[in-house]
Amino acid sequence: MTTIHDLAAWKREGRRFAMLTAYDFPTAQILDRAGIPVILVGDSVANNVLGYDTTLPVTMEEMLHHARAVSRGAKEALLVGDMPFMSYQAGRDEAIRNAGRFLKEAGMHAVKLEGPHLDLAEAIVAAGIPVMGHLGLTPQSVHAMGGYRVQAREDEAAQRLLAEAQALEKSGIFSLVLEGIPSDVARRVTETVTVPTIGIGAGPSCDGQVLVFHDLVGLREGRYPKFVKTYADLRGEVTRAVRAFADEVEAGTFPDEPHSYS
């Protein structure tokens, strides 16, 4: 089973690794058996599964529901639960309590925290809960950022992000997601901090890479971000299968004798 100590060792060895999101039992089982070492139950379940426009509306109870399903399906991967919006911003005690619920009630091994919340990250780590940081484009701050925009393009913003990454490392995080930032900035952060960095829209220099599962397999409708590479067209394939079923039912060719009981 993958642990946070394995990720640290891989960073030292220069071994790259993949992380993917999962929100349900069958997907978690597929990813786990395919050897994906880190699975994130992302708050992106909000817009990929639950039909919300952003990640902001998803609740702790919804996150725990999906995290439980994932933990039942994955037995070897390191499982990370994403702290949803307003599950930690209200203060230290609530942040620790909600982080603990991911481990105690949903079988997660760690939590992910968006933004440079140094005191909260330190407090959660001190409570015995591993924390994955997240800097750059943080979707929970979409309104404050004025939309989904690439971050840290100016030198001052890049220096600030690097300082935040170093401060988060000192707070005790075991890894750091870097989202939507220029490749050279991600490279500088990766070379500076000793914890593994995991990129999404952050170029090739990070220690690991993460994508949303629904983007990876082409399940989502509409335009994909530039950094997404689709490895399959499951939406098209599922549509073809559904139409074939409906056509056979209408034609009276399904069910046929092999699919009927005598």
Distance CA 40, CA 50 (A): 17
Indicate the pTM of the whole model.
0.97
Taking only the tens place, the pLDDT of each residue in 9-45 is: 999 999 999 999 999 999 999 999 999 999 999 999 9
pLDDT-wise least confident of 18-22, 98-102, 141-145 = 141-145
pLDDT at 185: 98
Q: Is 258 helix (H, G, I), strand (E, B) or coil?
A: helix
Quote the mean pLDDT of the chain: 98
The per-type count for the chain, helices as H runs and strands as E runs, is 10, 8
Active site residue 154: no
Q: Which of the residues 61, 179, 237, 250 is marked catalytic?
A: 179
Average pLDDT over residues 242-261: 98
Domain ranges of the chain: 4-231, 233-262
Greatest alpha-carbon span in the chain: 75
Positions of E strands within 22-151: 38-41, 78-82, 110-114, 131-136
Closest CA to 152 of 112, 121, 181, 110: 181
Q: pLDDT at position 33, please?
A: 98
CA pair distance 150, 257, nearest whole angstrom: 57
CATH number for the domain running over 4-231: 3.20.20.60
Measure the N-to-C terminal CA separation of the chain; round to a whole number of Å: 47
Tokens of 166: 């170093």
